């Protein structure tokens, strides 16, 4: 969604040509989109995590009604799911920040994962800087440069999604 927003702002900038018109175009866009958030319902997962089961059931009923599903299609599974939930939370001893950090940083597998993530982040940063400076050196429109960057970024997101969601990204 960041890439889509980047393309929309670039389109606004290309059409506006003046920074003040661009400012007002962006403000108008947000003013039109922001009220939608008021009418958008909470996600069922969020309501479940807050243990608001009555509100969760009402939301699931509304979703089922919108999807033209009968109550017998989903309600028995919902009841079984709720019945299996623990009635009280188990209290765990709270560890201090330094104790948690020590537990995390003394495990070999965690250190390896952190190093891999750091390498991926460093590589991504270097590629981003290279693409940014490479596009700046080319004598092209800045709008086109941002669009090319957004397309490369979208391609990277799509590739990452495909690698994670296919058998390549799974262990078994």
Identify the burial level of 61 via C-beta atoms within 10 angstroms of its C-beta, where 0-12 means exposed, 13-18 middle and 19 or more buried: middle
pTM attached to this predicted model:
0.43
Report pLDDT digits (tens) over 52-67. 888 989 989 998 999 8
Q: Is 38 left (phi over 0), alpha (psi -120 to 50) or beta?
A: alpha
Q: Are residues 49 and 36 in the same domain?
A: no
Local confidence band at 169 (pLDDT 50, 70, 90 cut-offs)? low
Instruction: Please report the pLDDT score of residue 31 as a whole number.
Output: 92
Report pLDDT digits (tens) over 126-139. 777 776 677 667 77
**What does the pLDDT average to over 160-170?**
69
Give the structural domain span for 146.
1-40+142-172
Q: Are residues 149 and 168 in the same domain?
A: yes
Q: Would 91 be classed as within a structural domain?
A: no
Q: Would 26 be classed as within a structural domain?
A: yes
């Amino acid at each position: 969604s960041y890439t889509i927003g980047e393309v929309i702002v670039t389109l606004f900038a290309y059409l506006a040509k003046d920074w003040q018109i661009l400012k007002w175009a962006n403000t108008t866009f947000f003013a039109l989109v922001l009220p939608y958030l008021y009418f958008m319902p909470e996600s069922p997962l969020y309501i479940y995590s807050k243990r608001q089961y009555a509100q969760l059931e009402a939301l699931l009923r509304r979703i089922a009604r919108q999807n033209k599903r009968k109550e017998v299609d989903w309600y028995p599974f919902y009841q079984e799911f709720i019945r299996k939930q623990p009635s009280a939370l188990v209290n765990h001893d709270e560890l201090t920040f330094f104790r948690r950090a020590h537990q995390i940083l003394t495990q070999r597998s965690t250190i390896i994962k952190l190093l891999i993530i750091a390498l991926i982040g460093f590589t991504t940063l270097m590629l981003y800087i290279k693409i940014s400076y490479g596009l700046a050196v080319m004598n092209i429109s800045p709008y086109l440069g941002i669009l090319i960057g957004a397309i490369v970024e979208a391609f990277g997101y799509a590739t990452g999604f495909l690698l994670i969601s296919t058998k390549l990204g799974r262990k078994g």
